[in-house]
Structure 1
Amino acid sequence: MSQPTEDRGLSQIAYSCYHSRSREGEQFVPEHVLSYQIAGTLFLNDGVREYVCKPGDFTFSKRNTLAKFNKQPPENGDFKSISIYLDQQTLRNFCMEFGYEAASHQADNAVVTLKPHTLLASYIDSLLPYQEFSPPGSQQLMALKLKEAILILLQTNPGLKQILFDFSEPGKIDLEGFMNQNFHFNVQLKRFAYLTGRSLATFKRDFEKIFHQSPRRWLLHRRLQAAHYLIKEQGKAPSEVYLETGFEDLSHFSYAFKKLYGVAPSRL
């Protein structure tokens, strides 16, 4: 894996370029993201389904969702993409300016695949000159480009209105069911707490009442159990499994695995 050779642009419009395959990055999506794939392939997995984004594809990722990212460069080339981050304040300001009302919460897929459209393509082309542009005053230009992105999304995909203008926060949900479904996402405890509609302190208290152990200890054992199954029953390699089950690095995974099962994952 490698760090991005480039990750530049205005603060809410990011240009990414990778020389080799990368699965790095936080697996929590805090804001809505409009993305365009320039080169290479992006694999997104929200725990329910996998989305494949190829050159020329537009995707819209919803805020407050969990997703794993796998960035695959083309042969002898670089992975390249543009991402436009639509934060809540920008969207609230847009509502006030254009007279939109806040929408009610809509349960939907974490990722929306957008159909190609000349307006979307023209918008992306208009962003290319901004790759090296960051003089004083560029924030005002960025605000205009973000507003343009929202207008185009509403024009080409009217159904996104219910998602874009949903300003509600996650409500309190079934913690046990949520954790059993999402334990393999590598995010901080505060993210799990937020997504289940709890403060971190309440999350820890409720967690120990349900699972009778701390969240960190439960997550470690649950991830190791899943890894053991994938290696033994499905024949997967430890180098693939540790990322799939939520570990940050192979050495920590191997150490924890051997400590629990008495044998290195490579010898299972």
Structure 2
Amino acid sequence: MEDSSHIKLDNLLYSCVDRKQRSNEQFVAEHAFGYIISGETHMATSEGIKVMRAGDIGLVRRNQLLKSIKIPPPDGEFKSLNIFLEQGFLRKYAIEYKIEQTERYTGISMMLLSPDPFIKGYFDSLIPYFDRPEHLKSALGELKTKEAIQLLLQHDPALKSFLFDFSEPWKIDLETYMNKNYMYNVPIAQFAKLTGRSLAGFKRDFTKIFKTSPSYWLQQRRLSEAYFLIKDKRRKPSEIYLDLGFENFSHFSYTFKNTFGVSPTRL
């Protein structure tokens, strides 16, 4: 199946693919609450790699960089359901249920939840709507989103601070962050936001630290890592270019040869 097998209904997303597939999106803008129906997904963030398998329920925090790979089971399809808990909806929920804004959340940003039959039943109840989307009216979608929040708080009341921290990223050490996250293919504006800066402030601080522009530094940092992986670690160029943030192999090969005087495949 192609990307058309990703069906989105408002803030609900159903994925179904029959081959290994990388996610195109590498920035998580809103909290994502998901369930793996079949197959598995490998998710990589600065905290490491987490594998979610069939039956697993996960929660991913907003405002972070993430790479994921969907892997179908042998002779089957990868299937998952996700609901995105948007900030505007959570703010209204907090007002309606008199939930005070919590302190800044400092815990992990991606977690697997322990098995919960109520949450499992909740995701099962969503599946029919993707066959008959006309039945998911606006009011019903709002009720299903509220149900998701209530089930999470029932599962673990401590998730309150995860869900209802509405603060934005604060100013952090730019050099450390960029050296940990250079391989994510996102706009410079996203890096600025995630390091707690305006775009102008990010570019100013970046140039002061690295003595060059963000775009040029990112390209050279990715190419340097590619050279190391190919020459010293004997990795195949076709296996690494996406992991390092290049959009396609031809662009990677062209810039690599321009920089090092030899194509990655010849090296």
Q: TM-score, normalised by structure 1?
A: 0.96
SS of the aligned residue for 2:143 comes to helix
Alignment check: 8 A CA contact 1:27 1:186 kept: yes
Superposed CA offset, 1:130-188 (max 9, x none): 11344387111111000000000000122211110000001111111111111011111
* Secondary structure of residue in 2 paired with 1:244: coil
- Provide runs of 4+ in structure 1 moved above 3 Å: 132-137
Aligned residue for 1:52, secondary structure, equals strand
Q: What is residue 46 of structure 2 aligned with on the other side?
A: 47
- Could you give the per-residue CA deviations for residues 78-98 of structure 1, whole angstroms, max 9, x where no partner exists? 111100000001111111111
Distance 1:140 1:48 in 2: 37
Q: Spell out, residue by residue over 1:51-81, the C-alpha distance to the aligned partner (whole angstroms, 9 max, x if none).
A: 0011000010000011111111112221111
1:101 is the counterpart of 2:100:
yes
Q: Secondary structure at the match of 2:142?
A: helix
| Residue ranges of structure 2 left out of the alignment (5+ in a row) | none
Contact 2:34 2:82 in 1 (8 A): yes
C-alpha separation in 1, matches of 2:107 and 2:246:
28
TM-score by length of 2: 0.96
Q: How many angstroms apart in 1 are the aligned matches of 2:168 and 2:108?
A: 17
Match for residue 37 of structure 1? 36
| Matched residue SS, 1:74 | coil
Task: Check 1:40–1:109 CA distance in 2 against 1; reply closer, same or farther (3 A cut).
Answer: same
1:23 match:
22
Per the alignment, residue 165 of structure 1 pairs with: 164
1:106-125 Cα offsets, whole Å, 9 max, x none, are 22222111111111111011
Query: Which residue of the partner structure matches residue 12 of structure 1?
Result: 11
Match of 1:261 in 2: 260
Alignment of 1:119-198 (within 5 A): 119-135=118-134, 138-198=137-197
SS of alignment partner, residue 44 of structure 1? strand
**Cα gap change, 1:133/1:90 in structure 2, threshold over 3 Å: closer, same or farther?**
farther
What is the alpha-carbon distance in structure 2 between the residues aligned to residue 52 and residue 221 of structure 1?
30
CA 1:3–1:211 in structure 2 vs 1: closer, same or farther (change >3 Å)? farther
Amino acid at match of 2:207: E
Whether 1:110 and 2:126 are equivalent positions in the alignment is no
Structure 1 residue aligned with 2:90: 91
Deviations 1:32-66 (A, max 9, x none): 00010011110001033110011000010000011
How many residue pairs get aligned? The number is 267
Report % sequence identity: 45
- Equivalent in the alignment of 1:59: 58
Other structure's SS at 2:84 match: strand
